[in-house]
A and B are shown apart, each in its own frame.
Chain A
């Protein structure tokens, strides 16, 4: 049977380590792009100040990059250490994008990041710009491969169960690669990372302007962050990844949970701006609704319905009953692979095998499941509605606020009016944590909203876990909490110290050194 203690603590560990890793990844994505823009201006205009800007923000980039790399190794290990059955069950498909991430993206980023720091006097201006651009390209490509892997968990395509090996196997890699969910996710997530980096530059620069330090660098940095950030913040919201959510039943369930849409409405459905979802009563109290809006956002049409939770649960129930058949046929095939009747039975029901596996949480033999247990399993396909409902609304609210922030910064930057508007500088500085909150909430919407599935419709999360004593996982989880907290303190301390010192206080410029060979 499944040890639910191990499942819960493994999930907690994965969530904490992933959320922690995702504090650094978006900043790496966004800062590296800001560095490319600044250095490109330096190469085009030849003005030293742009090089100083690139180097100053580069120092902060480096500190953050190290944290991202350090916490990223944990993620690669963790599939194997804590989710061994998951790794075995879907490794044939899921392993490939992870390996390709190493080969095509991380190698690029990690090989050139050293030259970013050590190449200033060894490379030509253009040569160094190319190096910086390759680091930025590598980090964005890295996000692409990870999101292709993640999109496959959200919407598994191009794969089929093989009874001979008792696992999912690849049918078509191009389908995995061109997964529509992956495309939506990539644009959304990477643009969100660019926003994080831009807000970081904007907020730190605002702090300098408020203190009247490094004014030339801060003004220019704000101009870069405002224009790049505005474009990206618009992309994040307009190209939100909700568009990919209608590809399958469980993605529909995610949309329905985000919207607390209990019953299917006549299309186009209204959007609940505010309300209190009540899971027990299966209704949303005090709902403030805007007619038509949800239907338009979610389906991009006026006549496609947004299916409600109750209808989706009813569908899940049917699929669970079919999944029981698939599971029974599979047991017969394990005993005798040549059993033709079992083969036919399995072929007819294999699409629902994952739904049958949902029952393993309640009963060790799905064929013996009672109607009550099937009902329980069907309702287990509903993710936590209030958490998704609120996470989504706060995330979108923050996104809209950041658009406003960037637009104002852009306007003030164009008119050279930062110093006269100290109120804006204060708001810009105080906005520093907001994009991180939005990004983490986005992760919660995407991944907590995927529950109860590891791989949508194929593998329930509780089944993917390793067979390991819960004590081991508690030990590693406490280790991570202690170790990561200590690292966070050191990281914050260093970042604050470097920012306080500022471009004027970092001793290694302006006394520019002569290039190698020039005396």
Chain B
């Protein structure tokens, strides 16, 4: 069994893999959900756009479910503190996510325009709200969340719902929303026939520009106008998971500390931006296949950038910085981490393999004619 510090580091990486997997897979159906009502102008066009994701979105969303389960199993303190602290935000996210399975399954069952319009809006909310909230959540991690632990070691959140809507958090929300709209549009350009494909490419390019501007703006904000957290006491990376034993200081620009210490880490934001540029160019040339790969790189680069900046923090506390949760003091026991590592190591490749097979079976572009033929299938 690897030592406790290595296991914790590996689980931080697995969390990253799951989030990137979630962004790549579920990201495109969230992005299409947020835009299909505008990219598709008639019911048939919208059906074609939806058909590009209907057979796969359910499996895609399990990346999110699994990430949630993995946080519960590997970082129970993070799971407890974040879900209970962000109580109302989680409730809003949940309602938006609940709209998706029923929206996809119910929409096409009845042809009445009012019925379909209502579900279209539900699917739009179900796509756009989570895409925005994931970014808002990350933005709040940079700002630190107002929580501490009480004498029973229960997490106590002292902020409210609207406190989460800090301008920086909203900026981060726009980063994730525009990024996933770009990603979804690339997928639609790849997967759906004309005229939706062309419109999606245009939306994707615009979203890419918004993403790049906001990503850079967020970076400048973090570098110049934000205090980051730094552990000042000695770090015991193999100690018991007790977040109350360290001392943390707030230092201007500290979130860039890891990049300053290891210059090669700048590759992550560089790849994110560069790949967004490549996506923009390839979409202009209608090379959606290549654009999809570069869009995936943008997602991975963006998530890695945020993860690296915060490392080793998982959830910094603005109320009591010393109580912030880090990779070294919020994990499960070494036994659980190792057990889960083995299981993930065996089964995640199996999942990826059968998912790839399903996508292969479903290969090909969904044209309007095909959608007409498929009426009533789903």
Bound Cα distance A95, B81 (Å):
15
- Is there an interface contact between A103 and B333, defined as CB atoms closer than 8 Å? no
Q: How far is the CB of A507 from chain B (nearest CB, A)?
A: 6
A247 touches B (CB below 8 Å): no
Mark contacts of B42-74 with chain A using CB atoms, 8 A cut-off: 1 yes-contact digit, 0 otherwise: 000000000000111111011001101110111
Q: A66-B101, A96-B340 known; A84 and B332 CB under 8 Å? A: no
- Is there an interface contact between B73 and A99, defined as CB atoms closer than 8 Å? yes
- Is there an interface contact between B72 and A113, defined as CB atoms closer than 8 Å? no
Which of A92, A99, A108, A475 lies in contact with B70, CB distance below 8 A? A99
Bound Cα distance A487, B101 (Å):
12
Q: A66-B101, A103-B347 known; A165 and B73 CB under 8 Å? A: no
- Is there an interface contact between A122 and B362, defined as CB atoms closer than 8 Å? yes
Number of A-B contacts (CB under 8 A): 246
- Is there an interface contact between B80 and A87, defined as CB atoms closer than 8 Å? yes
Chain A positions within 8 Å of B162 at CB level? none
Determine, out of B88-96, B170-178, B219-227, B276-284, the stretch whose residues face the partner at the interface.
B88-96
A373 touches B (CB below 8 Å): no
Bound Cα distance A109, B225 (Å):
47
Which of B83, B240, B361 lies in contact with A123, CB distance below 8 A? B361
B77 touches A (CB below 8 Å): yes
Which of B84, B101, B105 lies in contact with A468, CB distance below 8 A? B84
Bound Cα distance A171, B110 (Å):
53
- The residue of chain B having its C-beta at the shortest distance from the C-beta of A134 within the complex is B354
Which of B65, B152, B335 lies in contact with A73, CB distance below 8 A? B65
Chain B positions within 8 Å of A82 at CB level? 84
Chain A positions within 8 Å of B261 at CB level? none
- Is there an interface contact between B106 and A494, defined as CB atoms closer than 8 Å? yes
Chain A positions within 8 Å of B216 at CB level? none
Q: A164-B240, A466-B87, A508-B377 known; A91 and B157 CB under 8 Å? A: no
- The residue of chain B having its C-beta at the shortest distance from the C-beta of A166 within the complex is B153
Chain A positions within 8 Å of B150 at CB level? 467
- Is there an interface contact between B104 and A66, defined as CB atoms closer than 8 Å? yes
- The residue of chain A having its C-beta at the shortest distance from the C-beta of B61 within the complex is A110
- Is there an interface contact between B76 and A122, defined as CB atoms closer than 8 Å? no
- Is there an interface contact between B154 and A88, defined as CB atoms closer than 8 Å? yes
Which residues of chain B from 314 to 363 have a CB within 8 Å of any chain A CB? Answer: 332-333, 335-336, 339-340, 343-344, 347-348, 351, 354-355, 358, 361-362
Residue among A71, A100, A102, A171 with most chain B CB within 10 A: A102
- Is there an interface contact between A66 and B106, defined as CB atoms closer than 8 Å? yes
Chain A positions within 8 Å of B58 at CB level? 69, 110-111, 113-114
Which residues of chain A from 463 to 519 have a CB within 8 Å of any chain B CB? Answer: 466-468, 472, 475-476, 479, 483, 487, 490-491, 494, 497-498, 506-508, 513
A112 touches B (CB below 8 Å): yes
Chain A positions within 8 Å of B106 at CB level? 63, 66, 490, 494
A43 touches B (CB below 8 Å): no
Interface residues contributed by chain A, number (CB under 8 Å):
75
Chain B positions within 8 Å of A167 at CB level? 76
A170 touches B (CB below 8 Å): yes
B373 touches A (CB below 8 Å): yes
- Is there an interface contact between A66 and B102, defined as CB atoms closer than 8 Å? yes
- Is there an interface contact between A111 and B62, defined as CB atoms closer than 8 Å? yes
Q: A70-B102, A85-B154, A95-B76 known; A62 and B69 CB under 8 Å? A: no
- The residue of chain A having its C-beta at the shortest distance from the C-beta of B57 within the complex is A114
- Is there an interface contact between B54 and A479, defined as CB atoms closer than 8 Å? no
Which residues of chain B from 73 to 131 have a CB within 8 Å of any chain A CB? Answer: 73-74, 76-77, 79-84, 87-88, 90-91, 94-95, 97-102, 104-106, 109-110
Chain B positions within 8 Å of A62 at CB level? 105, 378
Bound Cα distance A173, B339 (Å):
8
Q: How far is the CB of A171 from chain B (nearest CB, A)?
A: 8
Which of B61, B76, B240, B339 lies in contact with A88, CB distance below 8 A? B76
- Is there an interface contact between A88 and B83, defined as CB atoms closer than 8 Å? no
Which of A84, A91, A114, A466 lies in contact with B56, CB distance below 8 A? A114
- Is there an interface contact between A487 and B340, defined as CB atoms closer than 8 Å? no
Residue among B54, B74, B102 with most chain A CB within 10 A: B102
Which of B82, B98, B100, B344 lies in contact with A74, CB distance below 8 A? B98
- Is there an interface contact between B361 and A119, defined as CB atoms closer than 8 Å? yes
Which of A66, A114, A162 lies in contact with B55, CB distance below 8 A? A114
Mark contacts of A155-176 with chain B using CB atoms, 8 A cut-off: 1 yes-contact digit, 0 otherwise: 0000000101111011101000
Bound Cα distance A162, B335 (Å):
13
Q: How far is the CB of A148 from chain B (nearest CB, A)?
A: 13
B242 touches A (CB below 8 Å): yes
Chain B positions within 8 Å of A102 at CB level? 62, 65-66, 68-70
Bound Cα distance A110, B110 (Å):
24
Q: How far is the CB of A514 from chain B (nearest CB, A)?
A: 10
Q: A114-B58, A173-B339 known; A508 and B82 CB under 8 Å? A: no
A305 touches B (CB below 8 Å): no
Q: A77-B83, A77-B90, A102-B69 known; A88 and B77 CB under 8 Å? A: yes
Chain A positions within 8 Å of B104 at CB level? 66
Q: How far is the CB of B31 from chain A (nearest CB, A)?
A: 18
Chain A positions within 8 Å of B153 at CB level? 88, 166
Which of A74, A88, A483, A487 lies in contact with B80, CB distance below 8 A? A88
- Is there an interface contact between B333 and A92, defined as CB atoms closer than 8 Å? yes
- Is there an interface contact between B351 and A111, defined as CB atoms closer than 8 Å? yes
B270 touches A (CB below 8 Å): no
Chain A positions within 8 Å of B105 at CB level? 62-63, 65-66
- Is there an interface contact between A115 and B68, defined as CB atoms closer than 8 Å? no
B206 touches A (CB below 8 Å): no
Bound Cα distance A106, B156 (Å):
32
A67 touches B (CB below 8 Å): yes
Q: A66-B104, A88-B154, A508-B376 known; A99 and B84 CB under 8 Å? A: no
Which of B77, B109, B354, B376 lies in contact with A111, CB distance below 8 A? B354
- Is there an interface contact between A164 and B242, defined as CB atoms closer than 8 Å? yes
Bound Cα distance A304, B68 (Å):
44
- Is there an interface contact between B94 and A74, defined as CB atoms closer than 8 Å? yes
- Is there an interface contact between A95 and B54, defined as CB atoms closer than 8 Å? no
Q: A88-B80, A106-B62 known; A472 and B72 CB under 8 Å? A: no
Q: A81-B83, A103-B66, A164-B240 known; A93 and B373 CB under 8 Å? A: no
Chain B positions within 8 Å of A85 at CB level? 80, 152, 154
Chain B positions within 8 Å of A114 at CB level? 54-59, 358, 362
B155 touches A (CB below 8 Å): yes
Chain B positions within 8 Å of A424 at CB level? none
Residue among B80, B240, B358 with most chain A CB within 10 A: B80
- Is there an interface contact between B76 and A506, defined as CB atoms closer than 8 Å? no
Mark contacts of A115-137 with chain B using CB atoms, 8 A cut-off: 1 yes-contact digit, 0 otherwise: 10111101100000000000000
Which of B87, B102, B332 lies in contact with A490, CB distance below 8 A? B102
Chain A positions within 8 Å of B156 at CB level? 467
B251 touches A (CB below 8 Å): no
In the complex, besides A118-B374, A169-B336, 19 extra interface pairs with C-beta distance below 8 angstroms are A62-B105, A63-B109, A71-B98, A77-B83, A77-B90, A80-B79, A80-B80, A88-B76, A88-B77, A88-B153, A95-B72, A96-B336, A101-B69, A111-B62, A167-B76, A467-B150, A467-B157, A491-B102, A494-B106
A-B pairs, top 10 by smallest CB distance, nearest first, are A91-B76, A80-B83, A114-B55, A95-B73, A111-B59, A99-B69, A84-B84, A508-B376, A95-B72, A66-B105
Could you tell me which B residues sit within 8 Å of A by CB distance? 54-59, 61-62, 65-66, 68-70, 72-74, 76-77, 79-84, 87-88, 90-91, 94-95, 97-102, 104-106, 109-110, 150, 152-157, 240-242, 332-333, 335-336, 339-340, 343-344, 347-348, 351, 354-355, 358, 361-362, 373-378
Q: List 9 A-B contacts (CB under 8 A).
A: A73-B65, A73-B94, A106-B66, A107-B355, A111-B358, A123-B361, A165-B333, A468-B87, A494-B106
Could you tell me which A residues sit within 8 Å of B by CB distance? 62-63, 65-67, 69-71, 73-74, 76-77, 79-82, 84-85, 87-88, 91-96, 98-104, 106-108, 110-115, 117-120, 122-123, 162, 164-167, 169-171, 173, 466-468, 472, 475-476, 479, 483, 487, 490-491, 494, 497-498, 506-508, 513
